[in-house]
Copies of this chain bind each other. A is one copy, B any other.
């Protein structure tokens, strides 16, 4: 068991946690979901990979992606920032420009936070997002169709290139996630889907996760696809009743979102062998 798992397991047994296990949490009757994500130098990125503007932009997007996975519209953010002691004003301006760009695109207001100086650049973003009916990970049913958005695989290639010391296009979704259309799409199809989550650890890992949570199998038509190992894809895996296929396709076309129907829910359990990305 790794340290993070050890922490989570201990925390869960302490009796003070509630509602963990989804991309975010819904509380009471607020019609809001809440999520917190860390984005840290040396863990989620290296300084050579992204410039400060890209870091600021992506730190916000990582959370927006979680909101999308819950069919929630981002509204407010709280920002915990650790600035490296040696950073300069130009870098700070770039960082703010990146954060502000993401906030403007998704109409997010930053309403609070805290800053400190430290060794490495690290952002902790808490997002408050509105949803009249948050999309959760449970409630899939046998015969549901499994469908994912977008084209999978590129994030893996880009990450590998970066790890080898290579470069990737600034348009790569690993550098600059593209989430505007996906947000509009998920809000428009919410009535037609039963459950969903974002593809953080690869499609196979997400199928296992859905399977375990719902005690049903997520059967893929062609599981031996290298692209299904690619994590950090900023795409969605959704489960929807077959009768809504046309409604989904129509709205996907409107928002220029690509849909791929890749499998079906049935009785049993899935045990695909995914690659674990985070050490």
B16 touches A108 (CB 8 A): yes
Q: Which of A99-124 contact B (CB under 8 A)?
A: 99-100, 103-104, 108-120, 122, 124
Residue of chain B at shortest CB distance from A4: B115
B16 touches A116 (CB 8 A): no
B80 touches A80 (CB 8 A): yes
Is A259 engaged at the interface, CB distance under 8 Å to the other chain? no
| Complex partner residue of A20 from B3, B36, B43, B112, CB under 8 angstroms | B112
A142 to chain B minimum Cβ distance, whole angstroms, is 30
Is A146 engaged at the interface, CB distance under 8 Å to the other chain? no
A111 touches B11 (CB 8 A): no
A11 contact set on B, CB distance < 8 A: 96, 99-100, 110
Is A246 engaged at the interface, CB distance under 8 Å to the other chain? no
* CA distance in complex: A69, B42 (Å): 36
A60 to chain B minimum Cβ distance, whole angstroms, is 10
A36 touches B124 (CB 8 A): yes
* CA distance in complex: A15, B3 (Å): 40
Residue of chain B at shortest CB distance from A43: B116
- Chain A 73-94 interface mask (CB, 8 Å, partner B; 1/0): 0011011111101010100110
A17 touches B116 (CB 8 A): no
A115 contact set on B, CB distance < 8 A: 4, 7-8, 38
Please give 19 more A-B residue pairs, beta carbons under 8 A apart, in addition to A30-B30, A42-B118, A78-B126: A3-B117, A4-B116, A4-B117, A7-B115, A11-B100, A14-B97, A16-B99, A16-B104, A20-B110, A27-B75, A34-B78, A34-B128, A35-B78, A36-B113, A36-B124, A38-B115, A80-B80, A117-B279, A122-B122
Q: Give residues in A with beta carbon < 8 Å to B.
A: 3-4, 6-8, 10-11, 14-20, 24-25, 27, 30, 32, 34-38, 40, 42-44, 75-76, 78-83, 85, 87, 89, 92-93, 95-97, 99-100, 103-104, 108-120, 122, 124, 126, 128, 279
